[in-house]
Amino acid sequence: MKICVYAICKNEEKFVDRWVDSMQEADEIYVLDTGSTDDTVSKLKNRNVHVTEEKIDPWRFDVARNHSLDLVCEDANICVCTDLDEVFESGWRKKLEEAWVPGTTRARYNYNWSFDESGNPAVNFYIEKMHTRHDYQWTHPVHEVLTYTKDDAEHFITIDNLTLNHYPDNTKSRSSYLPLLELSVQENPEDDRNMHYLGREYMYYQRWNDCIDTLIRHLHLKSATWKDERCASMRFIARSYQALNRFDEAEMWLKKAILEAPYLRDPYIEMAMLAYRLENFDQVIYYGKQALQIQTHTKNYINEPFSWDSTIYDLMSIAYFEKHDYKNAIKFVNFAIDLSPNDTRLIENKKIMEKAKDSTA
């Protein structure tokens, strides 16, 4: 098989060597540079990467991705789209070749989007950016997706032991996202995915009423049927109402979120967070217990890191402490420390709890 990697980039000189080292298992590497002013282009060329320079104006991620795909040689069997802040774990090519059976058009594989302080995956889900050379194009100005262009069905494979890790440059601006999302929704107002993304972006910008209105529009779209994403929209609406100090409405939407996706930890934990904020410690414990009964970690981008880290144990330990149940307070703070061993606040909390327990012995 001929396997080719393709990417877009701009001002990513610090990632070049690490990225090329990771991608060298491919036969060819192609990069569309969209206007670097640092040494990205020269460093890529020195590593024998095929580089083309082109400014995309007006800027759209889908246009840039499609132009980068156009660079790939016509006889490639498999195209692999990555970004320069991403790194494959070694041996990825062999795993891809072993899994790719005749008739396959696209592969999904593990993506670690973020890591916790100990280097363990915090947000993990499948992505699907390995595909045949033809019959695909990128769509949407931002949060672009790979779209199959033939009338017949795609044929997916899933490669669980193939992993791509993401190590982002958090100093880079995402200021272009909001106008591009607004453009995307304007172009296709019935697209549920980008309506959800737009509402989430308004939340990031603390435009609470715009967030609420947009996500309610998302929930009313006929195509908005994925329960995980619907649950997330409800949670984000609840967060916006909390920011507006409208706690009854926040609680109402979190209850809706739980009913929408009772198999997810996220809405239970956000309800526990709201209860903690309102100093309703019985509810903190109740919803915390509900969350901890869920052991299945679904592999999608919506998973919240706080649903699987020390957060719920921390909240429950404080709730038990406030109820003078020091035995359970210490039990749950120990669980929290196991997950966040370097958190000095948790360690100090444990000392306070132990002292309180000893004083009542």
CATH number at residue 301: 1.25.40.10
- 3-class DSSP state for residue 84? coil
In a domain, 317, yes or no: no
Distance CA 116, CA 214 (A): 31
If asked whether residues 256 and 237 sit together in one domain, one would say yes
**Maximum alpha-carbon separation in the chain:** 77
If asked whether residues 82 and 50 sit together in one domain, one would say yes
If asked whether residues 114 and 13 sit together in one domain, one would say yes
In a domain, 140, yes or no: yes
Q: Residue 316 corresponds to which tokens in the numbers above?
A: 């429950």
Contact status, residue 34 vs residue 10, Cβ threshold 8 Å: yes
pLDDT at 122 over 90: no
pLDDT value for 351? 97
Q: Tokens 């239970």 appear where? A: 268
pLDDT at 361 over 90: no
If asked whether residues 94 and 240 sit together in one domain, one would say no
Report the 10 Å Cβ neighbour count for 139.
17
pLDDT digits (tens, 9 = 90+) for 270-288: 999 999 999 999 999 999 9
pLDDT value for 121? 85
pLDDT value for 171? 82
CATH number at residue 106: 3.90.550.10
Q: How confident is the model at residue 323 (pLDDT cuts 50, 70, 90)?
A: very high
If asked whether residues 120 and 200 sit together in one domain, one would say no
Domain count, the chain: 2
pLDDT digits (tens, 9 = 90+) for 221-251: 999 999 999 999 999 999 999 999 999 999 9
Backbone phi, psi, residue 272, to 5°: -65, -35
Distance CA 291, CA 101 (A): 39
In a domain, 324, yes or no: no
If asked whether residues 188 and 160 sit together in one domain, one would say no
In a domain, 251, yes or no: yes
- The closest alpha carbon to 185, from 241, 231, 224, 225, belongs to 224
Distance CA 77, CA 97 (A): 11
If asked whether residues 42 and 112 sit together in one domain, one would say yes
pLDDT value for 179? 96
Q: How confident is the model at residue 306 (pLDDT cuts 50, 70, 90)?
A: very high
pLDDT at 117 over 80: no
Name the average pLDDT for the chain: 96
If asked whether residues 20 and 55 sit together in one domain, one would say yes
Report the 10 Å Cβ neighbour count for 288.
27
Domain boundary, last residue among 116, 136, 166: 166
Please tell me the number of Cα atoms within 13 Å of 239 on its side-chain side: 22
The parent domain of residue 186 ranges over 177-308
Q: Residue 73 corresponds to which tokens in the numbers above?
A: 């040689």
Distance CA 162, CA 90 (A): 9
Contact status, residue 70 vs residue 81, Cβ threshold 8 Å: no
- The closest alpha carbon to 77, from 94, 100, 98, 99, belongs to 100
In a domain, 313, yes or no: no
In a domain, 278, yes or no: yes
Q: Residue 102 corresponds to which tokens in the numbers above?
A: 């005749």
Residue 111: exposure state from Cβ atoms within 10 A (0-12, 13-18, ≥19): buried
In a domain, 290, yes or no: yes
Average the pLDDT over 93-103 and give the result: 97
In a domain, 94, yes or no: yes
pLDDT at 118 over 80: no
If asked whether residues 257 and 154 sit together in one domain, one would say no
pLDDT digits (tens, 9 = 90+) for 169-217: 888 878 889 999 999 999 999 999 999 999 999 999 999 999 999 999 9
pLDDT digits (tens, 9 = 90+) for 61-91: 999 999 999 999 999 999 999 999 999 999 9
If asked whether residues 110 and 201 sit together in one domain, one would say no
If asked whether residues 144 and 10 sit together in one domain, one would say yes
If asked whether residues 154 and 221 sit together in one domain, one would say no
pLDDT at 254 over 90: yes
- 3-class DSSP state for residue 152? coil
Domain boundary, last residue among 308, 334, 352: 308
Distance CA 218, CA 80 (A): 31
pLDDT value for 22? 97
